[in-house]
Amino acid sequence: MKAVFFDRDNTLTHDEGYCHLVADFKWLEGAPEALKRLKDHNILVFIVTNQGGIGREFFTQDDMELFHSHLKEQALLAGGEITDIAFCPHHPKAVTPDMRACECRKPQAGMFYALAEKWDIDLENSVMIGDRQSDVSAGEAAGMASYLSDPASCLDRLVSHVITTHFSDSH
């Protein structure tokens, strides 16, 4: 099965740093439409997100899970669907040493491999979209076509291109 993987912060949602409060939730331009477009084409959507604020103790995993629940609800209200969200709580500056090193923090591909195994996803025929080079590098490390998105541009236009290029019947 093929899928589209997104980074969360500044790809789908507005972020001013360690966003974790539901009250601060805000879509980026074109994100709800992009999610709806993907659902309309029966393409699974996953989020892979570094959440180092957990390791740095800026917020808790429960805070993040509330934010993710809200994000998934808002996607449904927009006519889209997020199948699953993988996150990395680690950070090189984490408070405790065991939260500093891992195989999942992008640009490593651990989150992609875990989701691919859980959902039987064909990574080689899937796509990653993110706003940082580490997102693109992680997607490429997992064997996917990867796109750098511009938070100031309409995400729906990029997703339309991705669908045409990677998910049309002729490919």
* Residue labelled with tokens 């995993």: 61
How far from 155 is each of 31, 117, 139, CA to CA, in Å? 6, 27, 18
Q: Are 14 and 27 in contact (CB under 8 A)?
A: yes
Q: Is 150 a catalytic residue?
A: no
Tokens standing for 142? 């997992």
Catalytic residue among 9, 15, 131, 156: 9
Tokens standing for 92? 């090189």
Q: Is 7 a catalytic residue?
A: yes
The phi and psi torsions of 141 (rounded to 5 degrees) equal: -65, -30
Catalytic residue among 7, 15, 135, 156: 7
Q: List residues with catalytic annotation.
A: 7, 9
